[in-house]
Amino acid sequence: MLHRFERLTKVIGEDKFLELNKKCVLILGVGGVGGYVAEALARSGIGKLILVDFDTVDETNINRQIIALESTIGLKKVDVLGKRIKEINSGCEVIKIDEFINMDNYLDLFNYDIDYFIDACDTMTVKKVVLKECVKRKIKFISSMGTGNKLDPSKLEIVDIRKTVNDPLAKVMRKFVKDEKINSKVMVLSSSELPVKTGERTPGSTAFVPASAGLLIASYVVRQFIGK
């Protein structure tokens, strides 16, 4: 199995790779951003991935989600992604939580021994409470802000929530952090690009912005784990 990750160990060393193999990461939402996060972490040797999503693959997901193919339309996202991860890294333990997370059950996510919590969900109320809970429990955490209606992946960056600009979702989260008097750093993936105005409630999306966001988050988490 180690031979499979030979190219990675050339960069980080075998000892650091073995550290990654002991880590558990929870990913809340495995769509456009979260799917790429999960795949990159699986290809980086993370030992346990907890995939949380209640959705099924829809035809409209094909333009941007790594798990969305004509052959996977109608299938549960956690099932499709779980199978894909096992084909990449059979040694990775995959826990699938096929539930809609809301105010009634979000605390169930914290029944696991999590090394990193990645929020890539779309529900604002849930984004707020899981952030607050991670801060309370001192669990390492990163949240994806808005990637919809954006075209330029070079404008993506990982910053403290207080430094975000031109991101409507981040604006709401900034207010929440201020109102809750959260003083610690709150790291997020955000884009400084002004969103395209479509005049529609449902945001548009591209193949490259959500994917780039997911890869940036995965890179950040891996580098946090190995101390770089």
Measured in degrees and rounded to the nearest 5, phi and psi for residue 109 equal -65, -20
pLDDT of amino acid 88: 97
Torsion angle, CA of 203/164/103/29, rounded to 10 degrees? Answer: 60
Q: Indicate the range of 2-6, 137-141, 168-172, 214-218 predicted with least confidence.
A: 2-6
Residue 141 corresponds to which tokens in the numbers above? 């955490």
> Do the Cβ atoms of 8 and 45 come closer than 8 Å?
yes
Distance from C-alpha of 195 to C-alpha of 146, rounded to nearest angstrom: 9
Query: What does the pLDDT look like over 86-115, one tens digit per residue?
Result: 999 999 999 999 999 999 999 999 999 999
Residues 6+ apart with CB under 8 A from 144: 29, 33, 34, 118, 119, 120, 188, 189, 213, 214, 217
pTM higher than 0.95? yes
Question: CATH homologous superfamily of domain 2-226?
Answer: NAD(P)-binding Rossmann-like Domain (3.40.50.720)
pLDDT band at 2 (very low <50, low <70, confident <90, very high): confident
DSSP string, 114-157: -SEEEE--S-HHHHHHHHHHHHHHT--EEEE---TT---GGGEE
pLDDT reported for residue 228: 78
Count of residues making up the chain: 228
Residues 58-75 pLDDT 10s: 999 999 999 999 999 999
Distance set, CA 70 to CA 29, 210, 215 (Å)? 21, 20, 23
**Percent of the chain whose pLDDT exceeds 90:** 97
Per-residue model confidence (pLDDT) at position 112: 97
**What pLDDT is attached to residue 39?**
98
Which pLDDT band, with edges at 50, 70 and 90, does 26 fall under?
A: very high
> Does the pLDDT value for residue 8 go beyond 80?
yes
Q: Among residues 54, 63, 191, 67, which one has the least CA distance to residue 123? A: 54
Displacement of CA 82 from its chain's centroid (Å): 15
**What's the pLDDT tens digit per position in 49-60?**
999 999 999 999
Domain boundaries defined on the chain:
2-226
